[in-house]
Structure formats: structure tokens, C-alpha cells
């Protein structure tokens, strides 16, 4: 059907529920369903358009710099591939997330994720991702109740660590991420946290993520901890286990040691899901 074309559509094979006939309007690559005419005997379940990209949902805002990073990354990758990004986002509160993480209140955070996902589902999303590593403290519980498949950052990073063949890796992030050695999912590699600087790194990260800005003081703390991990602890690389660390360790830069950017690996997986194959 060409752009701007329209035709009447009566869904076939759907559930009987006495709903309306629909007018399909295709314009600028999007399809709009408008109820018209008399009530008919079927309801619409789903229309599958040929060459339609996967509609991605993101739970964002935790924190703002990570939101910007994922958004720009997905736009850039799909533009280079000559494809259009189909994306809808919902905002989650950073302070609420960090409080629930600190309290170990997975039930409360999962409830937030589920409500936001259900809101995004009404916009038509087909996959969901949480743009926060701290926010993955309850990801297994969320995956059990999510109405759409979850693109899990922990699974993505585990595969990337295996692909790159690391045996001993350091990490920077929030306190729980560091204390649990990335939630314990990296069982085939030795994970080293900056024990002596752990609280300082955590506080610097929370401050930076909440503000969306990396100060010279933030940079100094992260660089000192990372250098200790690579030079003293002999880690092969430093895992940037906080999606806002792109504010300090920017792509193309050379901090003097190898890094594994968890946000980049996750965003790449989301982009792959979003594109037509």
C-alpha cells in the first residue's frame, strides 16, 4: 500500500467481541487504525506490515546521561543501516530506583517496571530494555512478569566477556554491582572490585548519574580506581558497569587500559533487535 493510501479493514480470525470496522491509513511509514462505520463482529489482534522494524521500548531516566547515550546510539546505528528506528520510551525515577536497590526491594521496582512496560505496550512495543545496570538488580523477577520479552543487559555482557576471552576483569559502578561482582553472573571469569575505593566510587557514580554531568573530581576518582585495578590488581580490562560512565570514558578515547563498555554492548544488542534482518 503506498504512502497516504487508505482502505477499510475488517480483521479476520480474531476474537469475537463486537468491535468496530477499521480504516487503515498508511502515511510516512506508519499505520494508523481509525474506527469507522458500524460495529462488526471481530476485534483487531495485530496487523503485521511487511518490512516493519521491531518496535523497541526503553525504560529510561536512570540516569539522564544514559538515556541520551542509548537514544543517540540507536539513532546512529539504524541510520547507518538505512533503517528507521521505531522506539518509545518511559521515564523511571533515579532516586526511587536507588532506594529500592539499597533496600533490596525488588518487588517495588518490578512493579514500577511492569506498569511502565504496560504503558509502552499500549504504544505497540514488542521488546523492552532497562537502560541502567543498577536497575538490573531485579531483572530476573521482572522478566517473569513482563508482558514482552526483555533485552537483558546481564546476558548481553556475559556473552561479550566470553567472546573477548577475559579471565580477570575489574569493574566500576554502584556499590551493589561492585559488591556482588556484577550480580554474580560472570561465573567463568574472576571479577575484581576496587575494594579500597568502593564507597568513594559508588558515591561519585550516584552523584554523576543523578546530575548527568561528570566533574573533574568524578573523573579523578574513576581514573584512580581503574588504574589500581589494572596496574595493581593486574586486571586485563575494566568493565564500565554503569551506563553513565560514558561521561568519563568516551568512545574513541584512550584511558591507558582496555575497557568493556556495558552500555555499548547492551545498546548494540537492542539495535540488532530493532533492525530488519
**251 band by pLDDT with thresholds 50, 70 and 90:** confident
d(CA 27, CA 147) in angstroms, rounded, equals: 28
pLDDT value at residue 260? 97
Residues 240 and 249 sit within 8 Å (Cβ to Cβ):
yes
pTM greater than the 0.85 cutoff: no
| Pairing mode of beta strands 237-241, 168-173 | parallel
Map out the domains of the chain with their CATH numbers.
1-50 (no CATH), 56-152+266-274 (3.40.50.1860), 155-263 (3.40.50.1860)
User: How far is residue 20 CA from its own chain's centroid?
Assistant: 36
Residues 28 and 84 sit within 8 Å (Cβ to Cβ):
no
pLDDT value at residue 41? 29
Whether 7 has a pLDDT exceeding 80, the answer reads no
Residue 252, exposed/middle/buried by CB under 10 A (0-12, 13-18, 19+)? exposed
Whether 180 has a pLDDT exceeding 90, the answer reads yes
**16 band by pLDDT with thresholds 50, 70 and 90:** very low
pLDDT value at residue 190? 97
Which segments of 82-222 are extended strands (E)? Answer: 87-91, 127-130, 168-173, 190-192
pLDDT in tens, 71-118: 999 999 999 999 999 999 999 998 899 899 999 999 999 999 999 999
Omega prior to 63 cis, within 30 of 0: yes
CA distances from residue 275 to 55, 77, 261 in whole angstroms, order as listed? 9, 9, 22
Instruction: Indicate the average pLDDT of the chain.
Output: 84
Whether 62 has a pLDDT exceeding 50, the answer reads yes
Whether 9 has a pLDDT exceeding 70, the answer reads no
Maximum CA extent, the chain? 75
| Angle between helices 94-103 and 198-211 in degrees, nearest 10 | 150
CA distances from residue 157 to 2, 95, 270 in whole angstroms, order as listed? 41, 25, 13
pLDDT value at residue 10? 39
Amino acid at each position: 500500500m503506498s504512502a497516504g493510501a487508505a482502505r477499510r479493514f475488517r480483521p479476520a480470525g480474531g476474537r469475537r467481541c463486537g468491535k468496530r470496522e477499521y480504516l487503515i491509513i498508511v502515511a510516512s511509514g506508519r499505520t494508523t487504525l481509525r474506527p469507522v462505520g458500524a460495529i462488526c463482529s471481530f476485534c483487531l489482534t495485530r496487523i503485521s506490515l511487511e518490512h516493519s522494524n521491531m518496535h523497541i521500548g526503553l525504560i529510561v531516566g536512570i540516569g539522564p546521561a544514559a538515556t541520551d547515550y542509548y537514544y543517540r546510539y540507536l539513532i546512529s546505528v539504524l541510520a547507518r543501516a538505512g533503517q528507521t528506528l521505531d522506539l518509545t520510551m518511559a521515564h523511571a525515577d533515579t532516586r526511587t530506583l536507588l532506594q529500592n536497590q539499597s533496600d533490596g526491594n525488588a518487588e517495588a521496582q518490578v512493579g514500577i517496571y511492569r506498569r511502565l512496560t504496560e504503558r509502552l505496550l499500549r504504544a505497540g512495543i514488542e521488546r523492552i530494555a532497562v537502560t541502567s545496570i543498577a536497575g538490573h538488580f531485579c531483572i530476573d523477577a521482572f522478566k517473569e512478569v513482563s508482558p514482552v520479552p526483555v533485552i537483558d543487559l546481564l546476558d548481553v555482557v556475559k556473552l561479550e566477556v566470553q567472546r573477548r576471552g577475559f579471565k580477570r576483569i575489574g569493574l566500576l559502578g554502584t556499590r551493589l554491582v561492585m559488591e556482588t561482582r556484577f550480580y554474580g553472573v560472570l561465573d567463568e571469569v574472576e571479577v575484581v572490585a576496587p575494594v579500597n575505593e568502593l564507597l568513594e566510587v559508588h558515591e561519585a557514580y550516584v552523584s554523576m548519574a543523578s546530575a548527568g554531568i561528570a566533574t573533574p573530581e568524578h573523573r579523578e576518582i574513576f581514573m584512580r580506581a581503574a588504574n589500581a585495578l589494572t596496574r595493581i590488581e593486574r586486571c586485563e580490562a575494566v568493565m564500565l558497569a554503569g551506563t553513565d560512565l560514558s561521561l568519563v570514558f568516551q568512545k574513541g578515547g584512550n584511558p591507558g587500559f582496555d575497557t568493556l563498555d556495558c552500555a555499548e554492548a547492551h545498546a548494540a544488542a537492542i539495535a540488532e533487535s530493532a533492525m530488519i534482518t
